[in-house]
């Protein structure tokens, strides 16, 4: 690793016409967060002394959306080329620093590749290049008869012979700050695009006798840029496949590595098994032996040992205790805490509620703003009426309670330990412990009752 301070500049001012979008290109999400955010996170892994983003197209939206005060936000009001973009940042660059240039629309670069690139940047101008079967559009790496790099020629400026070169410039480079300033001061825009090309500094370095060091990324996908929605979708799949590969190598079973989407961070214990079409958002932790069925969404939640999530369930902002079983078709909303061995069944919605050890809510219920003790059973169709149209109220249910089917609990209301609530009850005041409480109109039978019959034809026009 080079000894000098590192100053990383991320170029993110370009327009991205081919995205056909109002959103600036670098804010388009990859795995749920802006492309630029990925580049910033990778840059941070190198612990740079300075981190600057050159923005322009889309204006203040870019710094506002990223919302990171520790970054130097440098406006490039007019996009006159990559060299011009870097020039905007020069006041923030010290002569003895190493400047590493990254692109905000190249989101899959790995920190290891960059660490390798900057290694010799004290003495040399360091370039990251790749060989592409179809190099169209890229700047070409021109070498002399000894294989030494002499220049980069942009596709539009290249001769037919140069266009046959398959080694291309990724745009990522690292160089000493003082030299960069000197060379950029000599840049002009006499070229096919009338732009100030950062790539023109390569020939200047060669003329000054500064060595050019070339390195390559481990995977070509690391340096692929996004210019269209098709390319963004392709990089999304590539990113997701990398996540899947990492998880499997850490001991997670995936039914299909191509059908997993992690738009946040997933931490897994041992022998976790994930069925198809899981979407992960935010921070999700799955302890040992957790299984997740097909078509589930997990967001900002922690699932303890051996939790089983059955198909089509959505869990957000919740903590699920060990050995619990959720779903199929369950929805667990923020603020929910389930103790161990709970059962939450189909078409049950839980919100901001605590459920004690071993309690069960198995069918068709809404439970909100509620605390339930241990070993209680909440029957089918139970609803907590937590909202009076203006305010939310709490429901409290003790241990070993039995709430019969189709009960409405009109909050605020309490159900004591061991209480039984008869089916169909509308509970409007507290139910004492160890007793049966029910509200029900007395059942009656009318004998000799005749059902109405359909009136005969011809009595009215049909
Ligand atoms: C650039 C390189 C080319 C390389 C290719 C790799 C130059 C002259 N050419 O070409 O050698 O093969 O990248 O993808 O450097 N940007 C600004 N301000 C500007 C212009 C660009 O911030 O005034 C940003 C863009 O937002 C983008 C990056 O710089 O993130 C590259 O710009 P782009 O126009 O895509 O460069 P290319 O012509 O593709
Ligand atoms: Ca480009």
Closest ligand, as measured to the CA of 155: 1
Closest ligand, as measured to the CA of 231: 2
**Which is the closest atom of ligand 1 to the Cα of 80?**
23
Encoding tokens for residue 214? 């070339």
349 lines ligand 1 (CB under 6 A): no
* Fold classified for 6-223: Spore Coat Polysaccharide Biosynthesis Protein SpsA; Chain A (3.90.550)
Name the CATH superfamily housing domain 241-437. Answer: Hexapeptide repeat proteins (2.160.10.10)
CA distances, 359 to each of 5, 354, 401, 421 (Å): 58, 10, 9, 16
**Which is the closest atom of ligand 1 to the Cα of 55?**
22
Closest C-alpha to ligand 1, atom 36: 82
Rounded to whole angstroms, how far apart are CA atoms 173 and 175?
A: 7
Q: Is 335 helix (H, G, I), strand (E, B) or coil?
A: coil
CATH 3.90.550.10 intervals, the chain: 6-223
Rounded to whole angstroms, how far apart are CA atoms 338 and 354?
A: 6
303 lines ligand 1 (CB under 6 A): no
- Give the dihedral sign, CA 56/57/58/62: negative
What are all long-range contacts of 57-60, with beta carbons under 8 Å and residues at least 24 apart?
A: 57/13, 57/14, 57/15, 57/16, 57/24, 57/25, 58/23, 58/24, 58/25, 58/27
CATH 2.160.10.10 intervals, the chain: 241-437
Measured CA angle at 211 (ends 82, 47), to 5 deg: 60
Largest CA distance in the chain: 111
Which among 92, 94, 76 is positioned nearest to 11, based on CA atoms?
76
**Which is the closest atom of ligand 1 to the Cα of 139?**
11
Closest ligand, as measured to the CA of 105: 1
Closest C-alpha to ligand 1, atom 35: 14
Taking the CA atoms of residue 46, residue 50, residue 56 and residue 62 in that order, the dihedral angle to the nearest 10 degrees is 60
152 lines ligand 1 (CB under 6 A): yes
Which among 302, 233, 291 is positioned nearest to 266, based on CA atoms?
302
Rounded to whole angstroms, how far apart are CA atoms 446 and 331?
A: 43
Taking the CA atoms of residue 140, residue 77, residue 41 and residue 138 in that order, the dihedral angle to the nearest 10 degrees is -10
**Beta strand 354-355 pairing with 330-332:** unpaired
> Which residues participate in catalysis according to the annotation?
363
> Can you give the pLDDT at residue 157?
98
Per-residue pLDDT of the chain (462 residues; tens, 9 = 90+): 567 999 999 999 998 899 999 999 999 999 999 999 999 999 999 999 999 999 999 899 999 999 999 999 999 999 999 999 999 999 999 999 999 999 999 999 999 999 999 999 999 999 999 999 999 999 999 999 999 999 999 999 999 999 999 999 999 999 999 999 999 999 999 999 999 999 999 999 999 999 999 999 999 999 999 999 999 999 999 999 999 999 999 999 999 999 999 999 999 999 999 999 999 999 999 999 999 999 999 999 999 999 999 999 999 999 999 999 999 999 999 999 999 999 999 999 999 999 999 999 999 999 999 999 999 999 999 999 999 999 999 999 999 999 999 999 999 999 999 999 999 999 999 999 999 999 989 999 999 999 999 987 765 555
Ligand 1: which of 8, 9, 14, 227 to mutate, judged by most atoms within 8 Å of the beta carbon?
14
Q: What is the phi-psi region of residue 303: left when phi exceeds 0, alpha when psi lies from -120 to 50, beta otherwise?
A: beta
């Amino acid at each position: 690793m080079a000894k000098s301070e590192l100053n990383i500049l991320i170029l993110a001012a370009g327009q991205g016409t081919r995205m056909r979008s109002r959103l600036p290109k670098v804010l388009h999400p990859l795995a749920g967060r802006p492309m630029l955010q990925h580049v910033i996170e990778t840059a941070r892994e190198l612990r740079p002394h300075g981190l600057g983003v050159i923005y322009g197209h889309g204006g203040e939206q870019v710094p506002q959306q990223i919302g990171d005060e520790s970054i130097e936000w440098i406006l490039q009001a007019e996009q006159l080329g990559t060299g011009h973009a870097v020039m905007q940042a020069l006041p923030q660059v010290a002569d003895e620093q190493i400047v590493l240039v990254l692109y905000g629309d190249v989101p899959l670069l790995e920190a290891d590749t960059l660490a390798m690139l900057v290694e010799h940047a004290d003495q040399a101008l360091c370039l990251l290049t790749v060989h592409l079967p179809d190099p169209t559009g890229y700047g070409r790496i021109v070498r002399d008869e000894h294989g030494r790099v002499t220049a980069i020629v942009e596709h539009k400026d290249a001769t037919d012979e140069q266009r046959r070169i398959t080694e291309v410039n990724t745009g990522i480079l690292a160089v000493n700050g003082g030299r960069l300033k000197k060379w950029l001061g000599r840049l002009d825009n006499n070229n096919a695009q009338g732009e100030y090309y950062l790539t023109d500094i390569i020939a200047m370095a060669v003329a000054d006798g500064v060595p050019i060091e070339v390195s390559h990324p481990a995977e070509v996908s690391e340096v692929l840029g996004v210019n269209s929605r098709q390319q963004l979708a392709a990089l999304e799949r590539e990113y997701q496949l990398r996540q899947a590969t990492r998880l499997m190598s850490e001991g997670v079973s995936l039914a299909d590595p191509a059908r997993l989407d992690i738009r946040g961070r997933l931490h897994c214990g041992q022998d976790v098994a994930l069925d198809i079409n899981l979407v992960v958002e935010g921070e999700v932790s799955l302890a040992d032996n957790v299984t997740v069925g097909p078509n589930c969404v997990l967001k900002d939640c922690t699932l303890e040992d051996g939790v089983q999530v059955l198909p089509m369930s959505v869990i957000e902002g919740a903590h699920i205790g060990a050995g619990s079983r959720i779903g199929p078709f369950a929805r667990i909303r923020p603020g929910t805490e389930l103790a161990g061995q709970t059962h939450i069944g189909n078409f049950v919605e839980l919100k901001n509620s605590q459920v004690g050890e071993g309690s069960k809510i198995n069918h068709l219920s809404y439970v909100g703003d509620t605390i339930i003790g241990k070993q209680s059973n909440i029957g089918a169709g139970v609803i907590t009426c937590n909202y009076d149209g203006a305010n939310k109220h709490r429901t409290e249910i003790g241990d070993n309670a039995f709430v019969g089917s189709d009960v409405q609990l009109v909050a605020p209301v309490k159900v004591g330990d061991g209480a039984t609530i008869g089916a169909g009850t509308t509970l409007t005041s507290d139910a004492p412990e160890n007793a049966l409480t029910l509200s029900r109109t007395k059942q009656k039978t009318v004998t000799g009752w005749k059902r109405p019959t359909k009136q005969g034809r011809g009595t009215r026009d049909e």
